[in-house]
Amino acid sequence: MKKSSMISGFYKLRIEERAKVVKEFADLTNEEVETLRSTGALPLELADRMIENVVGAFPVPLGVAVNFLINGKDYLIPMAIEEPSVVAAASNAAKMARDGGGFHTSSTEPIMIGQVQAVKIKDPYGARMRIVGAKEEILKKANDQDPLLVSVGGGAIDLDAKVINTVAGQMLITELHVDCRDAMGPNAVNTMLEAVAPLIEKITGGRVYLRIISNLATERLARAWCAVPKEAVGGEAVVDGIVQAYAFAASDPYRAATHNKGILNGIIGAVMATCNDHRAVEAGAHAYAAKDGHYGSLSTWEKNENADLVGSIELPMAVGIVGGAVRTHPVAKVALKILGVGTASELGEVLAAVGLAQNLGALRALAAEGIQKGHMRLHARNIAIAAGATSDIVDNIVERMVQERKIRMDVAKELLDEYKKTGKI
């Protein structure tokens, strides 16, 4: 039977009921469900092997966004994130997009760029020609470092070189293009760069300093688009509002930073859940947002001939499903199973769709009722819990604060005192 990610009222279920739904959707074992439910699922010995100076682990809530239909396939999206409203907004937006057939995605091949910086070259332009001429020799040296990657169809596939003018004079930057297949890639790429550096010094007569992967992964792009019926977003006026919001972000970097932060709320939540390098994804996204010479929006929103909303996004997506922490972190392994992605490129495309959904959720709220309404209840809940409200009373305190539009710690404490004295609120 085809499994659907369209699960209405998922948020109303108890934690164990939600886990049961996810278990059935993703065919999880009992052990995998226990891993998900355990807030101490990362053994200290494993943590100690992952980074240095370990003193503990840092649990973050793991939620699951529902309703995602991407290229006709249903996905549940695990998200590790501390910010309230993100998972709910992604699920709501995915539902709106679903009404228009869901998200459609594509991607380039998973090619990362690695850079070798050569300085103090007498004839940088001549050296560039010699480097380009020695392409086959350099690629062979690079590929000799990683027969495994080559055996699965990846490896160094191309190179180019550019002369740049800097405050320290001219430099020749050789760029190696490496197909990383299902790996995120830094280890493979950096090893290749270090191996070819002596050859580059010999060919250029210069001195090599940096040999490092670039996070501006313009050869590893993921794309997603969706057409959302105007009825699903709340009518044509809301469509117009979202288009205006996009235009604002496209033209103003102050707004674009927040707009893109909203996109990354969703992407990074899912990137974190799979234990991929979220700093790399964010660096790539922001740099790509400035590719036209000014910092702008990563997404576009338009109104089509039916007055429906059409959204699109394209951004670098350096993520993997093998290697690194992705396959060692117990929760990340289960998160990948829940996602059900077969390749790193599929994961990248899903992440692009999640980013677009998150953006839609934020812009719809901003263009209609405002962002605070949705945030208020969750914010009130956090305040009530921080004030000391236990589970039997927390809902009543939240309700009172929301009704009175006074969501503050002192008000929560007053209500709690009232409850302690009188037994009711």
Nearer to ligand MEV, 240 or 399 (CB): 240
Active site residue 177: no
Nearer to ligand MEV, 24 or 83 (CB): 83
Active site residue 83: yes
- Residue 40 has a CB neighbour count (10 Å cut-off) of 9
What is the SS3 assignment for 304?
coil
Q: From the candidates 83, 369, 410, 417, which is the catalytic residue?
A: 83
The least distance separating ligand MEV from the CB of residue 185, rounded to whole angstroms, comes to 29
Nearer to ligand MEV, 200 or 242 (CB): 242
What lies within 8 Å, CB to CB, of 179 at 6+ separation is: 109, 110, 111, 149, 153, 154, 155, 156, 157
Active site residue 140: no
Nearer to ligand MEV, 41 or 228 (CB): 228
Comparing every residue's Cβ against ligand MEV, the nearest one is 262
The DSSP 8-state label assigned to residue 155 in this structure reads E
Burial profile 9-31: b = 16 or more Cβ within 10 angstroms, e = fewer = ebeeeeeeebbebbbebbebeee
How far apart (Å, rounded) are the C-alpha atoms in residues 190 and 187? Answer: 5
The least distance separating ligand MEV from the CB of residue 362, rounded to whole angstroms, comes to 4
Binding site for ligand MEV (CB under 6 A): 83, 258-259, 261-262, 265, 362-363, 366, 371
What is the SS3 assignment for 173?
strand
Q: From the candidates 20, 23, 73, 261, which is the catalytic residue?
A: 261
The least distance separating ligand MEV from the CB of residue 382, rounded to whole angstroms, comes to 14
Active site residue 277: yes
First-to-last alpha carbon distance for the chain, in angstroms, is: 48
How far apart (Å, rounded) are the C-alpha atoms in residues 390 and 398? Answer: 12
Is the CA virtual torsion 273, 338, 309, 366 positive or negative?
negative
The least distance separating ligand MEV from the CB of residue 43, rounded to whole angstroms, comes to 32
Q: From the candidates 375, 379, 406, 413, which is the catalytic residue?
A: 375
Q: Which residues are catalytic?
A: 83, 261, 277, 375
